[in-house]
């Protein structure tokens, strides 16, 4: 059987695409480069929207990127079940594209934050989290200025009651996100967005705070192989 193919999207300003591609390869999958201006998903089995500072962020993070030609292909594919992971700016784009509810706003303290962060896993039923255990605490890097997750009371209540909060900040909330939310999923569980960066925590060689990020990539690989 050929290796699972995971697309890694690059926008102007994306800076974590090579880290994302390496994480995909370390898990045993093929990383397929996807350029934002193309109308072609290249037949990939899953898609990773990595972090960075996509063009148009000066308006609102992800607000312009969500209209890129590639997104016109990705949105219906994701709605039809294609597994999609968005980290940091990728999470912001998923929210702007209405693939996930809510929005990411300026950090509560109005300062850019770059540090290792303790995260608690709340949901292991998604395409990207099956290799974790519910309640497991992991350490992932965060680096963002607009990572405060907000949503109206009705949306928050739905996320909580439906078990769609996938990750929460533990050991202190770094940005003021409501309900300590660090990541969420859609109803089907194929789309996950989070502010922390699992692609920066996959190998000890780079001085990562942990290798806890590997679980995202082994989870999706097992899902695709067993599909």
Is residue 146 flagged as an active site residue? no
Q: What is the pLDDT of residue 115?
A: 87
Cα–Cα nearest to 124, from 164, 84, 76: 164
**Active-site residue, selected from the candidate residues 36, 122, 199, 200:** 199
Structure confidence at residue 210 (pLDDT): 86
Task: Say if strands 165-169 and 113-121 run parallel, antiparallel, or are unpaired.
Answer: antiparallel
**Is 30 an active-site residue?**
no
Percent of the chain that is helix, strand, coil (3-state, to 5): 25, 25, 45
Instruction: Give this prediction's pTM.
Output: 0.93
Distance CA 52, CA 13 (A): 6
- Residue 72 is predicted with a pLDDT of 95
- The H or E element containing residue 174 is none
Which residues does 154 contact at the CB level (< 8 Å), separation at least 6?
none
Q: Of the candidates 87, 61, 101, 93, which has an alpha carbon nearest to the alpha carbon of residue 74?
A: 93
Q: Which residue has the tokens 């193919």?
A: 5
Q: What is the largest CA-CA distance in the chain?
A: 50
pLDDT for 1? 47
DSSP 136: -
Mean pLDDT by 10 residues, the chain (227 residues): 86 90 95 95 96 64 77 96 96 95 89 90 97 97 90 98 98 94 98 96 80 95 86
199 catalytically annotated: yes
User: Of residues 36, 61, 88, 146, which has the active-site annotation?
Assistant: 88
Would you state the structure tokens that stand for residue 28, as one six-digit string?
């045993």
Q: List Cα–Cα distances, 65 to 181, 204, 223, in angstroms.
A: 23, 32, 28
The helix (run of H) or strand (run of E) holding residue 157 is helix 153-161
For helices 214-225 and 17-26, give the axis angle rounded to 10 degrees. 60
Q: Position of tokens 């990207």?
A: 128
CB 221 within 8 A of CB 29: yes
């Amino acid at each position: 059987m050929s290796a699972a193919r995971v697309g890694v999207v690059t926008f102007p300003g994306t800076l974590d695409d090579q880290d994302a591609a390496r994480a995909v390869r370390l898990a045993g999958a093929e990383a397929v480069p996807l350029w934002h201006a193309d109308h072609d998903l290249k037949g990939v089995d899953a898609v990773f929207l990595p972090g960075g500072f996509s063009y148009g962020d000066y308006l609102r993070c992800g607000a312009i990127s969500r209209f890129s030609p590639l997104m016109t292909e990705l949105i219906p594919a994701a709605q039809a079940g294609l597994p999609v992971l968005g980290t940091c700016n990728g999470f912001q784009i998923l929210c702007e594209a209405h693939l996930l509810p809510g929005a990411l706003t300026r950090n509560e303290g109005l300062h850019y934050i770059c540090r290792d962060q303790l995260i608690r896993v709340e949901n292991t039923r998604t395409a990207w989290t099956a290799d974790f255990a519910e309640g497991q605490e992991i350490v992932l890097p965060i680096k963002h200025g607009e990572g405060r997750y907000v949503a109206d009371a009705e949306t928050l209540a739905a996320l909580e009651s439906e078990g769609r909060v996938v990750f929460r900040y533990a050991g202190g909330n770094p940005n003021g996100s409501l309900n300590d939310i660090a990541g969420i999923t859609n109803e089907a569980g194929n789309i996950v967005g989070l502010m922390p960066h699992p692609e920066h925590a996959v190998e000890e060689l780079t001085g990562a705070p942990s290798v806890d990020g590997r679980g995202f990539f082994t989870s999706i690989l097992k899902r695709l192989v067993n599909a």
